[in-house]
Amino acid sequence: MMWKKLFNWLDERLGLTTIYNVVLDRKVPKVNWFFTLGSASLFLFVMQGVTGILLTVYYVPTPDHAYDSIQYIMNDVTFGWLIRGIHHWGATLMVLVVFLHMLRTFYFAAYKYPREITWLTGVILLLSTLGMGFTGYLLPWNQRSYWATTVGTEIPGTVPFIGQFITNVLRGGPDLSALTLSRFFSVHIWVLPAVIVGTIGIHLYLIIRIGISHIPDKDD
C-alpha cells in the first residue's frame, strides 16, 4: 500500500508508466535470436564501463607504473584478476558481438529506409568499438602492447604526404612514449566512451521511434 502510493506519486511526476510502455512494451514483429545482438552489445558496453571504472581505481597510465599497477591488480587486489579478466574478455566479445550485430542488420536488409540513420550511427559505434580495442591494447604497457601499438601507429605513416604527421598525432610525437600512453588512456576512458554513449542514445531513440524491421519475406 505504502509502496503503491509512493510509486503513484513518482509516476505522476516522472511518467514512469509511459516510459515503460514506450520503451519495453512496444510492438515488435516476430523475430529470432539474431535480434538480441543489439541488446547484447549494449549489455557488454555497460559491463566494460563498470569494470573499466573499477580498473581506474588502481591503474596508472605512466610508463614507470602502468605495468606494475596491473601486476598489483592481478596478484594483490581482492578479485582484481576477475575484474580485469571480465574487462579483457568482454572487450574481445564486444568486438565480435557488435560485428555480428552489423552482419545481421546487413543480411536482413534492416539498414534500408527509414532506418538509414540508425545504420550510420551503428557505423560510428562499430568504429568506436574498434578504437576502444586499439587504445585499450596499449594500456598494460607490456612487450605485446608496446609493439602492437608501434605497428598500429606506423601503418598510417604510409599515407602519402601526411602519413608521418598522422603517426605523430597518434603518438604525440615521433616516438612511442609516455605521451602516447597518456593520450591513449584519455581517448580510451573519456573521448570514445563519450562518443559511444551519445551515439547509443541516438541509436536507441531511433529504434524506439521507428521500431525494428521484420524478417524479410518473399515479397520484400
Partner 1 sequence: MSKSPNMNRREFVTLVTTAIGSIMTAIVGIPAIGYVLSPALKAKKTDAWIPLGKLENYPVNQPTLFTFTRAKTNGWEKTVNSFGVFVVRKSDTEIEILSNVCTHLSCRVNWNTQKQEYICPCHDGHFNIDGKVDSGPPPRPLDQYEYKIEDGNLFIHLKES
Query: Which residues bind to partner 1, rule: CB under 8 A?
Result: 47, 50-51, 54, 57-58, 65, 68-69, 71-72, 76-80, 82-83, 86
How near is the Cβ of 187 to partner 1 at its closest, in Å?
Answer: 24
Nearer to partner 1, 60 or 96 (CB): 60
Which residue number, 84 or 171, has a Cβ lying nearer to partner 1? 84
The residue (of 76 and 219) whose beta carbon lies closer to partner 1 is 76
- The 3-state secondary structure of the chain reads CHHHHHHHHHHHHHCHHHHHHHHCCCCCCCCCHHHHHHHHHHHHHHHHHHHHHHHCCCCCCCCCCHHHHHHHHHHCCCCHHHHHHHHHHHHHHHHHHHHHHHHHHHHCCCCCCCCHHHHHHHHHHHHHHHHHHHHHHHCCCCHHHHHHHHHHHHHHHHCCCCHHHHHHHHHCCCCCCHHHHHHHHHHHHHHHHHHHHHHHHHHHHHHHHHCCCCCCCCCC
Smallest separation, CB 77 to partner 1 (Å): 5
Q: Which is nearer to partner 1, 67 or 137 (CB)?
A: 67
Residue 128: CB minimum distance to partner 1, A: 23
Q: What is the nearest approach in angstroms of partner 1 to the Cβ of residue 69? A: 5
